[in-house]
Amino acid sequence: MTILTTQRCFFNMKNLILFVFIFSTQVFSQVTERSFEALVRNDNKKPVIQEVTLTDLISNDSFDGEYFKIVKGKSDEAIRFDAESELTFRAATAYYHLTVARNYFIHKVKSDYVKNLKKIVVRIELTNQFSELGHFANDKLDPQYNNALTIPAGEGLSSRGVKPWGNEIWFRPSKKIHIRDLKTNNLANREFSVLMGSFRNQIHMQSLQRFLAGAVIALTQDGAPSPLSTENLIRTVGSSIIMEVGYQFLDPITKLFSRKWYWLDTAVVPEIIYHEYSHVALSDHLVLSHSTAIIEGMADVFAGQIANSPKLAMHIKRYNTYNGKNAERKQDYMIQFEMGEYANTDFVFGMLWEIKKILGEEKGEQFMFELRKKLTTSSNIRVQLIEGILQTCDEVCTVPFLDKLKILKSLNLKGL
């Protein structure tokens, strides 16, 4: 009898423990959503501040989710919900659009790689340069602003106390530069849109940041670090077209469009967030070792796709150097495009966007995603990209023979 009672009691305890366990996981899993104000585009694709729901959160009090953890600077701790509002606004906006991008890759192009990706640490307000050995370069070494980048995972350096890290996305703080400080001679004291137009129409052969970097060198004379140094500009937030659309963005804090100031608050620009996440999503084939015209062009294509914005599409159609209607300086292929410093010109972006148009929206999207399998980070445009495009067409196109003819015709027109 006694034994039986004890046994029954034991079973009851077990059931109780099981019950508590199930109950607690249910309570735990209920805390996955929370509303925040974030910057989104409205139906007219204008930037507006709106309440959004963040999903898959695993914390009650910080931006720590199942797939993303948003931290400030070099910290390992997620930003708390009760941190200052400028910070939580950026964290919520980045978290929200990263989730949009992740869902796109899982549900639209069915990426198993993205589905199984480990949680990504996302750093905002980080000025340090990336160091392959040390994770973060020394604080004093040329701090970075107005930019974003995606870094590859690293093994760390236990002898120096550097822990291993996974793929990460870094958003730089924005820093305002007055137009008068830009050494652009004839453009000094004009509105920034004039500078943009000048960049787009006359220069257009280099990345916007490189263009600005050349313009801003004089700033270093007082000993202050140049906000846009000529070094370390290899990885930028996308081609000039993506940046220009990002630049034409409402400042969420001052609620002003900039006229005479340049800055780019990358953590709140949807297209830039999509561009950076696309680098991670495509990294099963396009590893994140360095930037090339192809790797940037591919990330831009998916940023444009996820944004699904007619305004952006029109902008691409008008101004891309490959075949833009209103691009004053349309550009044939040049051997220089193969080099890293031209990674952010929009030639490859315009080229891939045109191929997508030739194949039709649905097919084109699937095509671009399959194309990554034929490419690596060291592929060049003239040989591997073109071969990759034709091979992908054999596998994906509805009528490969005809579609390849159309593609080749377009490429030949551009000197390829």
Distance in Å, CB of 55 to Zn ion, minimum: 26
Q: How far is the CB of 381 from Zn ion (least distance, A)?
A: 16
Sequence-distant (≥ 6) Cβ neighbours of residue 234 within 8 angstroms: 290, 291, 340, 341, 343
- Name which of 36 and 97 has its Cβ closer to Zn ion: 97
Contacts with Zn ion, 164-183, as mask; x by CB under 5 A? --------------------
- The count of other CB atoms within 10 Å of the CB of residue 284 is 15
Max Cα distance, the chain (Å):
100
Distance of closest approach, residue 235 Cβ to Zn ion, in angstroms: 6
Q: Is 120 helix (H, G, I), strand (E, B) or coil?
A: strand
* Residue 134: both structure tokens together: 């040390």
Binding mask 288-307 for Zn ion (x = CB under 5 A): --------x--x--------
Q: Which is nearer to Zn ion, 64 or 296 (CB)?
A: 296
In the chain, count H helices and then E strands.
Answer: 13, 10
**DSSP H stretches of helix in 104-247:** 112-115, 192-198, 208-216, 240-247
Name which of 267 and 299 has its Cβ closer to Zn ion. 299
CA-based nearest residue to 143, from 169, 168, 179, 172: 172
Residues in Cβ contact with 23 at an 8 Å cutoff, skipping those fewer than 6 apart: none
Q: Which residue has the tokens 């101004």?
A: 319
Q: How far is the CB of 376 from Zn ion (least distance, A)?
A: 16
Stretch 344-383: interaction string toward Zn ion, x if CB under 5 A: ----------------------------------------
Size of the site for Zn ion (CB under 5 A): 2
Beta-sheet pairing, 120-124 with 130-131? unpaired
Residue closer to Zn ion (CB basis): 94 or 299: 299
Nearer to Zn ion, 57 or 299 (CB): 299
CB 199, min distance to Zn ion, A? 18
Shortest separation between residue 275's beta carbon and Zn ion, angstroms = 6
Residue ranges in 54-93 that form contacts with Zn ion under rule CB under 5 A: none
Q: Are 357 and 351 in contact (CB under 8 A)?
A: no
Question: 253-292 mask for Zn ion (x: CB under 5 A)?
Answer: ----------------------------------------
- Residue 54 or residue 235: which is nearer to Zn ion going by CB? 235
Nearer to Zn ion, 296 or 354 (CB): 296
State how far the Cα of 207 lies from the Cα of 161, in Å rounded to an integer: 36
The least distance separating Zn ion from the CB of residue 298, rounded to whole angstroms, comes to 9
In the complex, minimum distance from the CB of residue 299 to Zn ion, in angstroms, rounded to a whole number? 5
**Closer by beta carbon to Zn ion, 117 or else 407:** 117
Distance CA 348, CA 339 (A): 12
Of the candidates 68, 60, 119, the one whose C-alpha atom is nearest the C-alpha of residue 95 is 68
Cross-strand partners of 165 = 154
Contact positions vs Zn ion (CB under 5 A): 296, 299
